[in-house]
Amino acid sequence: MSTGTGAARSAPDSSVRGYRVTSIDVLRGLVLVIMVLDHARDFFVAGTVQNPMTDPNVTPLLFATRWITHFCAPVFVLLAGTSAGLMTARKTPRELGLFLLKRGLWLIFIEWFVISTAWSFAPLGSAQAGGLIVIPLQVIWAIGACMVVLAGLQFLGARACLVIGLAIMLGHNALDAVWPAATASDHLDHPLWVALHARMSIDFGPYRIRFAYPLLPWLGIMACGFGIADVFRMDPAKRDAWLLRGGLALTFAFAFIRLINVYGDPHPWHVQDRGAVATLMSFLNTEKYPPSLLYALMTLGPAAIACAYAERWRGPLKDILVTFGRVPFAFYVAHLYLLHLLAVGLGVLQGFDARQFFAASPAFPPGYGVPLPAVYLVWAAVVALLYPLCRWVCAVKARRGDWWLSYL
């Protein structure tokens, strides 16, 4: 692992070509596919529950449908940091800083003006928010804002970034008692700095800005991703062994710390009267907003194990995942618009006015939706429909070197 400071990094040879790590693309593609399931649930399941994991009477299938998608955001953020770390082989610290700054601001812009519209189809204002334009700042915002910070942080070097990232991941739950993580996203009476560690909203001109992804803990995950980038420069066998050992260590750490039940998450688990399955659900119900230490361990440990075996996979499924993993931006934007358009179509077929679906999914009309098994069919159909687009974008990026393609 690199231990030098940013100033000590030598200027790379401009002839060195960028390269991709297949295991990263496979893992990223896998979590993209899983992510569609969660968003299909948001848009299509009957009697939509915004967060099924907070419902004590939730069914195991609905709980599992939500829980499996917890792997998506931390893997996205960690791998964004790792990809930035791999760029140090071909960019000077100054070049990398400028790239991360511009890339981060671009992603924040996209979250504000493109992704928020995909969620609501109401770019001029929402009746549910009193006519304000609702801007939910979620994972794309978190990645973009963390990149802006990492643009400066990376000058300290990989080791310093890793130490800072680990300190944030390990320590931020100590703030829970005085800076509660479970703040509702529509609380409007907090100062802006609260959004570093808790969900909140502010009204700003015609906008209602919802900070759904508090920044500080996500920065810790991205900084760790940057700090471990040299692992992916190792010989494949050594890299995979490191990932396997690290993944097992994180997973066992999750189980041990969660079992003790004294630190690492604002919500202790409890033995449930409904039996072992309900107790297991309580054990696995860790906090995502912001990502607690236990949430990060629970998700990143198994993800590292999967990454250790990713390059050994064979067949068309691996090829499909690699394709998705190489164009995550195009996949993300397209899947939200496609899901919302399909939801409008389903609503019309069920006898509703299309205008009732020009809103965020929690405001969809009562009686709309399909049973959870049908949501799985929607999930499969959307993934299949996205593949031709992603294959085309992937081919364009492979044969052309235009600078702007790095922003897609």
pLDDT digits (tens, 9 = 90+) for 80-95: 999 999 999 999 999 9
Stretch 116-126: mean pLDDT: 95
pTM comes to: 0.92
Percent of the chain at pLDDT above 70? 93
Q: How does residue 50 score in pLDDT terms, banded at 50, 70 and 90?
A: low
User: Which residues 6+ apart lie within 8 Å of 346 measured at CB?
Assistant: 44, 368, 370
**Strands (DSSP E) found in 9-141:** 133-137
On the question of pLDDT at 127 being above 90, the answer is no
Average confidence score pLDDT of the chain: 91
Query: Given a cut of 60, is residue 5 above it in pLDDT?
Result: no
* Average pLDDT rounded to a whole number, residues 331-349: 98
**In this structure, what are the phi and psi dihedrals at residue 14, rounded to the nearest 5 degrees?**
-65, -15
Pairing relation of β-strands 200-204 and 207-211?
Answer: antiparallel
Of the pLDDT bands very low, low, confident and very high (cuts 50, 70, 90), residue 48 is low
Angle, CA of 268, 272 and 277, to the nearest 5°: 100
Are 33 and 324 spatial neighbours (Cβ–Cβ below 8 Å)?
A: yes
Q: In terms of C-beta density within 10 A (0-12 exposed, 13-18 middle, 19 or more buried), how is residue 275 classed?
A: exposed
Average the pLDDT over 165-180 and give the result. Answer: 91
Helix (H) or strand (E) holding 209: strand 207-211
pLDDT-derived band of residue 177, with 50, 70 and 90 as boundaries?
confident
pLDDT (0 to 100) of residue 344: 98
pLDDT at 13 over 50: no
Exposed/middle/buried for 314, CB within 10 Å: 0-12, 13-18, 19+?
exposed
pLDDT at 6: 41
| 19: pLDDT strictly greater than 60 | no
CB 287 within 8 A of CB 180: no
Predicted local distance difference test score (pLDDT) of residue 400: 84
- pLDDT over 60 at 16, yes or no: no
Q: 231-279: per-residue pLDDT in tens?
A: 999 999 999 999 999 999 999 999 999 999 999 999 999 999 889 999 9
* Closest to 332 in 3D by CA, of 14, 58, 107: 107
